[in-house]
Amino acid sequence: MSGVSEGEHTVGAVARLVGVSVRTLHHYDRIGLVVPSGRTAAGYRVYDDADIERLHRVLTYRELGFPLEQIATLLDDPHVDALAHLHDQHALLTDRIDRLHRMVAAVEEMMGAKKKGIQLSAEEQAEIFGRDWPGDEYAAEAEERWGDTEAWRQSQERTARFTKDQWRAVKDETDALEARLADALRAGVAPGSADANALAEEHRASINRFYDCSYEMQVNLAEMYVADPRFTEHYERIADGLTRFVHDIIVANAQARG
């Protein structure tokens, strides 16, 4: 784009450089979290190096699970400088990496146990998935509710063949989808819109890994998300109101598909 000086970057260039969507950058701009500090002669907003550094700090905090409102408060605190933020982020990331290493080792242990036909205890599952994992209680409940269904049979057969890398991919893709859902909620994406329907389809595709998920079954899952406090707690930890948002976009998309 003409009028862009050296050291300045358009929205599209920053999106490609950093690996986020233009929509996300526009949202951050609207809420004042990362605002491009310059303009071209034609009036287009451009980011300088300091803007992009702030964007990287925002994305690091997002990766660590901080909500956007808290990130804004942290970054705009006049008593904390950029170097202090980097020290804090380094410490948090190091802790997270250590935790993930422990979780990988625990999952490998769980996989080995499964291959031998061993059912891990609730304590061992908690070590892997955290203390909020429902453990044996939920597994037994799920089998009682759906054990005689085709979906349950498909899920058992498909997951039995999953490799370690496939489980990692499932975890990464699920985390990424949930982050996109939370960003869409904050951006005001309306259920029934094209963007919302695309997210609902991504959600259904993620379920299709485990069993063939019809729109009717996906709606049943959405109803369970809002009815079962265990699911509600999971989504609300990611973003306030996310449970209802996920439910509503799934229902709207299913209705549009007839």
Higher pLDDT: 107 or 183? It is 183
Lowest mean pLDDT among 1-10, 64-73, 208-217: 1-10
Please tell me which of 45-59, 169-183, 238-252 the model is most confident about, judged by mean pLDDT: 238-252
* Host H or E run for residue 45: strand 45-46
Residue-wise pLDDT tens digits, 82-113: 677 777 778 877 877 777 777 676 666 656 65
Question: How open is the CA angle 121-103-85, to the nearest 5 degrees?
Answer: 140
- Note the CATH number of domain 11-77: 1.10.1660.10
Return the pLDDT at 123. Answer: 56
For 47-100, the three-class secondary structure string (H helix, E strand, C coil) is ECHHHHHHHHHHHHHHHCCCCHHHHHHHHCCCCCCHHHHHHHHHHHHHHHHHHH
User: The domain at 134-257 falls in which architecture?
Assistant: Orthogonal Bundle (1.10)
The span from the CA of 106 to the CA of 100, in Å, is 10
Return the pLDDT at 4. Answer: 56
What are the φ/ψ torsions at residue 39 (nearest 5 degrees)? -140, 150
| Domain ranges across the chain | 11-77, 81-131, 134-257
Please tell me which of 130-139, 147-156, 205-214 the model is most confident about, judged by mean pLDDT: 205-214
Q: Mean pLDDT of all residues in the chain?
A: 78
